[in-house]
Amino acid sequence: MNKKIAILVLVLVLIGFFMFYFFSFVSLDIGNEIITLENGMIIPNETCERLNRVTIIHKTGCTECLKVIPILKKIEEENNLNFIYFDMLNPEDMVKLLELKLTLEKAPIAIIDCKVYGPRTELEYKNYILET
């Protein structure tokens, strides 16, 4: 009997934790609509002004991310640039993205000069990033 009560208490604590975690996101005052990032779209100026010139949104472990992130880090290092990375599996990064009113359906996404790009080759990324 005591084992059943302990399990019940553990389950209730876990449910409470997940509800707190969920509602901490819901309670953010994000105002207007959230922008779902899609390949080729231009981000509104008020959001773009709050991003680095090159901003990468990815998910740790996603197959395409495992290919793209090393390419972007190489370009960043070779050209002494400073990209910002958001990992959608990191709760702190998710809060930041929600504050920026950004979300996406498929990772990775590179935002370069306010334009959204899906996965690209190294040469394509270099052209987009280094053209200015």
pTM of the model: 0.72
User: What are the sequence ranges of the domains in the chain?
Assistant: 1-30, 33-130
CA distance 75 to 67: 13
Q: Kindly provide the b/e burial profile for residues 89-102, where b requires at least 16 CB atoms within 10 angstroms of the residue's own CB.
A: eeeebeeebeebbb
Helix and strand counts by DSSP (H, E) for the chain: 5, 6
Tell the CATH superfamily of the 33-130 domain. Glutaredoxin (3.40.30.10)
Token couple for 30: 């994000």
User: Would you give per-residue pLDDT tens digits along the chain (132 residues)?
Assistant: 577 777 776 666 666 555 545 444 443 344 557 778 888 889 888 888 999 999 999 999 999 999 999 999 999 999 999 999 999 999 999 899 888 888 887 889 999 999 999 999 999 999 999 986
